[in-house]
Structure 1
Amino acid sequence: MKFYLTLLLIILNITINSQNQFQQFINYVNSLPDPSSKQAAVDSFIVYARTQGIPFITGDSANFIYRGSVSSISIAGDFNGWTPNWNMTNLSGTNFWYYSKVFESDARLDYKFVRNGNDWILDPENPRQVSGGFGPNSELAMPDYIQPWEINYRNDIPHGIVVNKIIYSTNVGTYYQLKIYLPPGYDSTSAERYPTVYFQDGFEYITLGSAVNVIDNLIDSSKINPVIAVFVKPNNRNEEYAGSKRVQYRLFFVNELVPFIDSTFKTIASANKRLVLGDSSGGNISALISYNHPEVFGYCGLHSGAFWTNNYEAYNLIVNGPVKNIKWCSVWGTYEGSLPANMRNFRDFLLQNNYQLSWEERHEGHSWGLWRATTDNTLIFFSPYEPNSIGLNDENYLNDFNLEQNYPNPFNPSTKISWQSPVGSHQTLKVYDVLGNEVATLVDEFREAGRYEIVFDASSLSSGIYFFKLQAGNFIQTRKMMLLK
């Protein structure tokens, strides 16, 4: 009776003095005289710890615990590069093992236990798991971490549909599997058109990143406008995203995939209504695609972009090249080795050069747990909810004047120029050379409100930089284009 009373007092003291509670328990067990009382104390503590959550959190420390007959047990996870070198300590006279570590109050990390040097297992006392690229992992979530509500499937909201497509790429010489998300209410016979999101590692964004649930929930909660999402499955992601096929894959994306999607579905065929995003190496190829083709993709999303590939090819291309009309959204974790320093430098460069940028650094690792919880940030940055722009179409997305970037760009010898006007007015569209000389007048007349497109044929001009300027009433906008012959 005295033993259980003492144990109860220890547990009560544990709940009051949370900063030291776990170490107090360890000290208490070590003070007990025999293995049977020690094991009884461990058993009672496990029962109590289950009610609080395991790993057992005390203040800013996470206490990993394991109970079982093993010769050794260690921990591998996001926090140590998945090297099982955090060796747990055996509480003398018991089958209880533990390891304590301080983490940020909002940290969220994946981990596994490794028994006897080679048996990788989930934490048997932790019910929280997260899907990863190599199977499920146990999840450590510190007290201030907020679980992402938007990844969960809900029965009580409208859902989009997902259709399967296959496309052959002459650039890469292979077929690609696609899953296309069409938003609730999509009607192929209507005039409504939608922004488009292109996902690298597309099928994993669905299965591991819960992207379809995220889009459904964001649309339903009026966080974003309805979008069409294109989920692309790579055939050899290492070669296509960062290796010998990266150029061919990039050309497949802009010259074959985008035209196929635009011709098949009700998309808005404009760079400022297209987002390409990816995780890790998928972020690397997304950056290469958008920076080389800003006339196709005006938005780029980076989930822990793996810029180290090919001696920082994408990173150096962007920071050493001209500023282009691209808006960036970047997310990374502090537990990703050297990547956080690289992404901070990239962030600083973008901000210093007046790029539009949304960024977030979290206390997490290189994992789908991080990426699935931040896909909403990228989508909201790309297509924030605007009540007047639901059901976008060629005739009625017309709240503002807008002169779009020509496509293709660079071009030879012709290119398309598109613009929109919310009111009727006398409009002029002219082309100038780098010295400011007018070389062509494409439009000089009154036009009603609407969206317009015209083909500019530059067969008679020489290679070089040109500017096209739209003037409609008091609205004036100029863009740059390049003719390469």
Structure 2
Amino acid sequence: MSASISRFLLLAILLGLAPLADAQSFSNWIGGLFGTPEAGRQARVDSLFANLPAGQGPIREADRAWFVYSGNATSVDLAGDMSGWNPSMALSHFSGTNFWFREFLCASTARLDYKLVLNDSQWVLDPTNPNTISGGFGPNSELAMLDYVQPVEVLDHGYPACTRTTHAGFFSPQLQNSRTIQVVTPPGYPDEGTYPVLIVHDGQDYLSLGSLENILAWMAVERPQTRLPICVCIPPVNRSAEYDGNQQTAFGQFVMDTVIPFINQNYATAPDDPALWGTMGDSSAGDIATYLVGEYPQQFGRAIAMSPYLPAAQYARISQRPIEDFRFWMNWGTYDIATLLPLIASFRSMLEERGVTHQALEYEEGHSWGLWRATVEEGISFCWPRESAVSPEGRSERPGRMELRAWPNPFNGRLRIELGDHPQEAQLQIFNLQGQSVSMGLEQEQAGRWVWEPGELASGTYWLRAASGQQVSSRRILYLK
């Protein structure tokens, strides 16, 4: 590869990998490789991978991602949220090289889990991509497109911590088994007197994979308009049977007759106010969460269901329960499990037709803890707003966006920032791609105007975020030393 082509490719990669220099930048590079004599192709491939900045694979453009692999193999396939986890998306092999590639079209806000499958048998993380997301079967590589904003609330910001109390050997006479229940109280407990209670199914996963404690600690500082619940994290013993099988009724009785009396006896709750009791779960745990709020309306007035399995029995329960002071929050991914999507669509229509106060949100993601952990804060905020925070009808859209401008972009040395709306109340922060705040060097010149000098920070992509009340706006910025 000539020095001029190499410099162009490196600059294109640095200027975004999404978008690259233009919407067809990597397509043009592929075309150039086709035009290269076979004897010279491997050298161009080697130069590509040598110049690919660490952490920048897949190569991302505005509306697509290019998955690339360099290595000896008989086949390379892509498996992930985009394929229903079937290794059915083959990467193309470029003759005369060890280079494999595949173009994937998606929204600029997409975030998807995936792995590469080598030789039809070896499932591996993408070696060009150090970014991973943990799931129930271990880590997966994470494709986060350029307009996806990592959830800062899942990190440990050093805010006052929650308190976790472990109740081991918690026996269920209804199910004739025992489990460890963990109760998380928010920072400052019990200063507010009585608290909402959230029964969390797949409770251990919400603690370990869902970063529940970090989220509550972050919300205590950053979301004062939300009443934070006591979270009762219950793991399953026989998950399929308890959540959507022949033990569902007994599990419900276990929650009602054993868990709740224990919580009322030992924690600051409001036993007789369904508006202060909720239930949350993901996937099949979303089924049991919906079952409880439908079967026991006298106890539960709030539900959070993430990518839920919603069979006809839960549709019937919710279609018949009273809707007064009832809130239902749900989400799902565009790339979610295919069999769930029609059930979710039907359930959502029923909520709308009945006039249930609800929020139903679709994201360009899959059936993943990456989606669920990033939306815990939204679900809790919807369920328990303080009276002045959210209208009784609830929110049907995500928070509005303010006009946020930053120039020059890319920049070297100093970035100027201007906020068009609500400059007096706005809080401005800058994050790296890991979601860590890097706001040192940010100074406000006047209302609505700031300058940022990154100093010793490394060149690369950062995120600028402004928040004012319920309105937020984010912008990608590129720092080049």
Q: Is the 8 A contact 2:62 2:146 kept in 1?
A: no
Distance in structure 1 (CA, Å) of the matches to 2:44 and 2:208:
42
User: 1:12: how far off?
Assistant: 5.5
Alignment of 1:73-88 (within 5 A): 73-88=76-91
Letter in 2 for 1:210: S
What is the identity, as a one-letter code, of the residue corresponding to 1:27?
A: G
Instruction: Output the amino acid matched with 1:339.
Output: L
- Cα distance, 1:347–1:169 mapped onto 2, change above 3 Å: same
Equivalent residue, structure 1, for 2:281: 278
CA contact (8 A) 2:55 2:131 kept: no
How far apart are 1:68 and its partner, in Å? Answer: 0.8
1:361-398 C-alpha deviation (Å, 9 max, x unpaired): 1111111111001111111012224699xxxxxxxxxx
CA contact (8 A) 1:165 1:177 kept: yes
Query: Quick check: 2:278–2:303 contact (8 Å CA) kept in 1?
Result: yes
Residue correspondence of structure 1 range 38-437 to structure 2 within 5 A: 38-50=41-53, 53-155=56-158, 157-166=159-168, 167-187=170-190, 192-221=193-222, 222-269=224-271, 270-308=273-311, 312-319=312-319, 321-325=320-324, 326-336=326-336, 337-385=338-386
Opposite residue 367 of structure 1, the aligned amino acid is S
- For each residue in 1:88-130, what CA deviation from the matched residue of structure 2 results, as whole angstroms up to 9, or x when unmatched? 1112211111010100111111000001001001111101110
Distance 1:291 1:80 in 2: 34
Does structure 2 conserve the Cα–Cα contact (< 8 Å) formed by 1:335 and 1:364? Answer: yes
Distance 1:145 1:164 in 2: 36
Which deviations, in whole Å up to 9, do the C-alpha atoms of 1:131-152 show, x marking residues without a partner?
Answer: 1111101011111111111111
Give the fraction of aligned pairs with identical amino acids, expressed as a percent: 33
Other-structure match for 1:392: none
Letter in 2 for 1:242: D
Amino acid at match of 2:31: N
Q: Which has the larger radius of gyration?
A: 1
- Return the letter of the residue paired with 1:21: S
Out of 14, 22, 28, which is 2:26 matched to? Answer: 22
Distance in 2 between residues matched to 1:6 and 1:304, nearest whole Å: 46
| Unaligned 5+ runs, structure 2 | 390-481
Asked whether the equivalents of residues 161 and 186 of structure 2 are also in contact (C-alpha less than 8 Å), the reply is yes
Cα distance in 1 for partners of 2:86, 2:308 equals 22
Question: What's the Cα RMSD here?
Answer: 2.0
Q: Tell me if the contact between 2:10 and 2:52 (Cα under 8 Å) persists in the aligned partners.
A: no
User: Are the counterparts in 2 of residues 132 and 208 from structure 1 also a CA contact under 8 Å?
Assistant: yes
Q: Secondary structure at the match of 1:192?
A: coil
Residue 4 of structure 2: aligned partner: 5
CA distance in 2, matches of 1:387, 1:162: 30
Secondary structure of the corresponding residue to residue 92 of structure 1: coil
Q: TM-score, normalised by structure 2?
A: 0.75
Q: Deviations over 1:412-434 (max 9, x none)?
A: xxxxxxxxxxxxxxxxxxxxxxx
Pairwise CA distance, 1:347: 1.4
Q: Which amino acid aligns with 1:266?
A: A
- CA apart distance, 1:226: 3.4
Which residue type is aligned with residue 48 of structure 1?
N
CA distance in 2, matches of 1:382, 1:13: 45
Cα distance change of structure 1 residues 60 and 265 upon mapping to structure 2, 3 Å threshold: same
On the 8 A contact 1:224/1:385 being kept in 2, the answer is: yes
Rounded to whole Å, the distance in 2 between the matches of 1:3 and 1:194 is: 66
Which whole-Å deviations, capped at 9, do the CAs of 1:224-263 have from their partners, x for residues lacking one? 2232111001101101001111100011111211111011
Query: CA contact under 8 A between 2:183 and 2:232: conserved in structure 1?
Result: yes
Helix, strand or coil at the partner of 2:126: coil
How far, CA to CA, are the matches of 2:378 and 2:31 in structure 1?
45
Contact 1:242 1:284 in 2 (8 A): yes
CA contact (8 A) 1:323 1:353 kept: no
What is the TM-score of this pair, normalised by structure 1?
A: 0.74
**Following TM superposition, by how much is the alpha carbon of 1:220 offset from its aligned partner in structure 2, in angstroms?**
1.6
In structure 2, what residue type is equivalent to 1:332? W
Shift in Å at residue 217 of structure 1? 0.5
Q: CA offsets per residue over residues 34-71 of structure 1, 9 Å max, x none?
A: 43x32221122123332682110123111001111111
Instruction: State whether residues 55 and 129 of structure 2, in contact with CA within 8 Å, keep that contact through their aligned partners in structure 1.
Output: no
Write the distance in 1 (CA, Å) between the matches of 2:251 and 2:323. Answer: 21
> Structure 1 residues 223-232 or 136-145, which shifts more?
223-232
Which residue number in structure 2 is paired with residue 423 of structure 1? Answer: none
The residue type equivalent to 1:23 in the other structure is S
Residue 38 of structure 1: SS of its match in structure 2? helix
- Contact in 2 for aligned 1:169/1:252 (Cα 8 Å): yes
Identify the residue that residue 421 of structure 1 maps to in structure 2.
none
Secondary structure at 1:193 match in 2: coil
- Note if contact 2:310-2:347 (Cα within 8 Å) is conserved in structure 1: no
